[in-house]
A and B are shown apart, each in its own frame.
Chain A
Amino acid sequence: MKSLKMRLLWTAVVAALLAVVVAGGATAQAPVVKIGLLATLEGPFAAGGQDGMRGAELAVKQRGGMVAGKKIEIIKASSDAKPDVAVNATRKLVEQDKVDIMVGPLSGSEGIAVKNYSKTQPNTTFINGSSGAQATTLVDPSPNFFRFNTEGAQWMVGLGDYAYKTKGYKKMALIAEDYAFPYSQVQGFMTEYCKAGGRVTHKAWVPLGAKDYSSVIAKLPGDVDALVVVLGGADAVNFLTQYEQAGGNKPMVGGSITVDQTVLNFKGKRRESLLGTPSAGPIADSYDAPEWKKFVADYKENFKDGFPSPSLFAFVYYINMKAALDGLEAVKGDLSGGQAKYREALKTLKLKTPTGEVTLDENRQAIGTTFVTEVAKAADGGFYNKVVKVVPNVNQRLGMSKADFEKAGLGSRDVPNCP
């Protein structure tokens, strides 16, 4: 027979565990506004996620940690670019930590999952982090999910024309990774390029996880004028190295993350062949508007361990967090009534960002500015992206009418096509 003491001990242990669990559910009311912040801090996007957090923190610091008389409390969470992990992290922030506003996530498929989750939480406002999938706001949008940053396809508007008309590339070959973000980037580029008369004769969709491009390079046709390369991070670095080693000498046109700061700053020898590569995206390192310069200076001053210039992720998280705070300011911190007034304010907000003004369309998707850039060398020998053209008011339908865009469909392996 078990002794009485053993039984009591066991009961006490179980009761203690239950108490801990129940206590965990209790919340404390306090006069702050809680904002949840989600980015990928694990896995291959970790560097981008860290910079995104820096951007968001900068927006809070610029307001001195207070908005509309309330203290801003940021609760951070991390994911690893997997949608189920992102939803779990968001659910914890929203249901357990009881945040009022949610900013995040970072990657495209996470964004769609969080958007779906937002439909089940009508009393919380969800603002995007940097996820750039078209489908998040074009397909089945959520009434309380706001995206103040432009997405992958919008980031390439202006580049197609530049490649065809200014650079004179009449025929191009495409190398891109085989998933949604490159599809949208390619759609943004090719819609304009094909309309201008260009032809993309060869499309090489490389599976995710293949770091060896030697065979892809061997298959590239020799009669094209240039290559469109939509790869990111380590893959871009690998491709560029291997292409040069294989004797390739065609000029390139890069996607938004192909020649961004993370690639230009990789630890190793600079590739001189990158100089002059055109690209397009939501930022340009050398933009000379005073707001942009102030943003860069603030970033450098506050984050000594950051990049030499804020990356795309820092910028995008910054404007989304700024939008959250500007909206709060506009309604004087009034989040009552299911945050209805706050959401109205967000919908009609004319957000002043370092790159110009951003407004929202009917799907709560941003209409903003895209920069066409070229890689140049600075006085100190480092590489940066200099502005060649500024394209304002880029909307999610890429300038097409609703009917035309719906006919064309979202970007995929075969959309658009002009061989």
Chain B
Amino acid sequence: MSAAEWRKAMNAGAGRYAWTGGARGRIAARPVDRPSPRPSPLRGEGEVATAWTQWVWRRVGARHVLVLLAVLVYPWVATPFFTFQIGAQSLALGLIALSLTFLAGYGGMVSLAQMTVAGIAGYMFAIFATSGTDISLRWPWGLAVVLALVIATACGTLIGWFSVRTEGIYTIMITLAIGVAFYYLAQQNYSLFNGFQGFQSVMTPAVAGVELRAPLVFYYLSLFWALAGYFFVAYLLRAPFGVALQGIRDNPRRMSALGFNVTAHRVAAYTVAGLIAAVGGVLMVWYNGLVSPGSVGTSWLINILIIAVLGGMRHPVGPFIGAVVFVLLQNFAVDLVGRERFNLLIGGVFLVIVLFSPDGLLGWWAQGRQYLEKQLAPARAGGWRRGRRGQERSTTAAPGPH
């Protein structure tokens, strides 16, 4: 087996059902057809095709281009409200949920403290930069961002160090408890976190006279970081680190026997996830213009989990899909069931997804696509197809008496 084929085998179906716990966790074990990479037309005798263009041609399909075009063009067709509140918020929340998908889907560790890390980044930015509270140090925003990311990633690593001593369910419990502890700390401490009020009027920076909080600018900023996060995670998953992580998810004992330091890999995964969540956290504090204990409370910790599960943990695009659905429901539930029953609606949707499609919306999409492909693609040229009409024959059947 070549290295490329080995990697393909390792990554096929990555994240699928793995996080539900065990081989018995498959309710609909229908193998999902991954489109095989197309043969590259650039490869011919004497032609030099670079590895990169081959990689692009193999992987990038029409749907990728369409989605990319759609998100790039989106702000020009949507209202500022939709660009800012729906679009940018989904991207920022999706980024935080991406860190959870990375940890849970590919690392097998469901950590409910990702929003805590994002909240720490937000708080640190508010403390170091300018806000309406006296505690803020009013340092230059670039420095504040760097400090916020560093501190939040360090906290993420620390949370990881606590949590890697546990496995599976324990991790959920412990990260939830850590998240709640930080919530109470932020609520009670007035010298650093300004307690219950939190930091209001956090000033979003302006670069070269352009306000970063203007809907269009902020949307593209969030889009940039969301794409960066997405490609970074996608790359990391194919790199040795990501592959080893998935191996650790599937069988830590075997990986340890092979010589991998399982604990170090896991903590490193928390660090990476912490960095991604920290970027999302800074975006969220710019989006909200404030950070308070409510931003890191139990409901937000669970909301990130809901977003990640809703979208599907099988692919890095899942959390962004989940975030879009979540934000749309949050804003427009009032037209469906009345805003005060929003929790019932989101809880119900979450329950339905977990019961019937643990792979989230992506799982349903994949099943739907498979079903449609079967219906829409009749007999293929050059192959047998036995169906109810057993008379169909291949056109290249061996010659002989009929």
Chain A interface residues toward B at CB < 8 A: 1-3, 5-7, 9-11, 14, 18, 21-22, 24-25, 41-42, 46, 76-78, 80-85, 87-89, 91-92, 95-96, 109, 112-113, 116-117, 139-140, 178-180, 207-209, 413
Q: Are B132 and A140 in contact (CB under 8 A)?
A: yes
Best-buried of A7, A83, A140, A179 by chain B (most CB within 10 Å): A83
A115 CA / B81 CA spacing, docked (Å) = 19
In-complex Cβ contact of B200 among A3, A21, A83, A88 (8 A): A83
Q: Are A84 and B376 in contact (CB under 8 A)?
A: no
In-complex Cβ contact of A24 among B70, B82, B373 (8 A): B82
In-complex Cβ contact of A178 among B38, B195, B198, B294 (8 A): B195
Q: Write out the residue numbers on chain B whose beta carbons fall within 8 Å of the beta carbon of A77.
A: 334, 339
A77 CA / B339 CA spacing, docked (Å) = 6
In-complex Cβ contact of A116 among B82, B200, B330 (8 A): B200
11 contacts between A and B (CB under 8 A): A42-B342, A78-B334, A83-B200, A83-B294, A84-B290, A89-B339, A113-B289, A116-B290, A178-B188, A178-B196, A180-B196
Given A91-B81, A116-B201, A140-B132; 15 other pairs, CB 8 A cutoff = A9-B376, A14-B66, A18-B74, A76-B334, A78-B340, A82-B294, A83-B292, A88-B330, A95-B80, A96-B81, A96-B85, A109-B197, A207-B187, A207-B188, A208-B196
Q: Are B294 and A84 in contact (CB under 8 A)?
A: yes
Q: Are A82 and B79 in contact (CB under 8 A)?
A: no
Chain B interface residues toward A at CB < 8 A: 35, 38, 61-63, 66-67, 70, 74, 77-82, 84-86, 89, 132, 184, 187-188, 190, 195-198, 200-201, 288-290, 292, 294-295, 297, 299, 330-332, 334, 339-340, 342-343, 369, 372-373, 376-377
Q: Are B187 and A80 in contact (CB under 8 A)?
A: no
A2 CA / B80 CA spacing, docked (Å) = 36
Q: Write out the residue numbers on chain B whose beta carbons fall within 8 Å of the beta carbon of A6.
A: 369, 372-373, 376
Q: How far is the CB of A233 from chain B (nearest CB, A)?
A: 16
Q: Are A95 and B85 in contact (CB under 8 A)?
A: yes
A398 CA / B197 CA spacing, docked (Å) = 23
In-complex Cβ contact of B62 among A10, A83, A89 (8 A): A10
A83 CA / B126 CA spacing, docked (Å) = 15
Q: Write out the residue numbers on chain A whose beta carbons fall within 8 Å of the beta carbon of B198.
A: 83, 109
Q: Are A22 and B340 in contact (CB under 8 A)?
A: no
A77 CA / B187 CA spacing, docked (Å) = 26
Q: Write out the residue numbers on chain A whose beta carbons fall within 8 Å of the beta carbon of B295.
A: 82, 84
Q: Write out the residue numbers on chain B whose beta carbons fall within 8 Å of the beta carbon of A116.
A: 132, 200-201, 289-290
Closest to A26 in B: B79
Q: Write out the residue numbers on chain A whose beta carbons fall within 8 Å of the beta carbon of B297.
A: 82
In-complex Cβ contact of B66 among A11, A109, A140, A178 (8 A): A11
Q: Write out the residue numbers on chain B whose beta carbons fall within 8 Å of the beta carbon of A95.
A: 79-81, 84-85
Q: Write out the residue numbers on chain B whose beta carbons fall within 8 Å of the beta carbon of A178.
A: 188, 195-196
Q: Are B196 and A109 in contact (CB under 8 A)?
A: yes
Q: Are A7 and B82 in contact (CB under 8 A)?
A: no
Q: Are B81 and A140 in contact (CB under 8 A)?
A: no
Q: Write out the residue numbers on chain B whose beta carbons fall within 8 Å of the beta carbon of A89.
A: 339
In-complex Cβ contact of A88 among B85, B197, B340, B377 (8 A): B85
A76 CA / B85 CA spacing, docked (Å) = 18
A139 CA / B132 CA spacing, docked (Å) = 9
A25 CA / B86 CA spacing, docked (Å) = 11
Q: Write out the residue numbers on chain B whose beta carbons fall within 8 Å of the beta carbon of A24.
A: 79, 82, 332
A194 CA / B84 CA spacing, docked (Å) = 50
Q: Are A41 and B340 in contact (CB under 8 A)?
A: yes
Q: Are B38 and A1 in contact (CB under 8 A)?
A: yes
A9 CA / B368 CA spacing, docked (Å) = 12
Q: How far is the CB of B283 from chain A (nearest CB, A)?
A: 13
Instruction: Say whether, besides A2-B35, A82-B294, A25 and B81 are in contact (CB < 8 Å).
Output: yes
A224 CA / B80 CA spacing, docked (Å) = 59
Q: How far is the CB of B217 from chain A (nearest CB, A)?
A: 14
> What are the 4 A-B residue pairs with the smallest beta carbon separation, nearest first?
A25-B79, A82-B294, A41-B340, A179-B196
A77 CA / B335 CA spacing, docked (Å) = 10
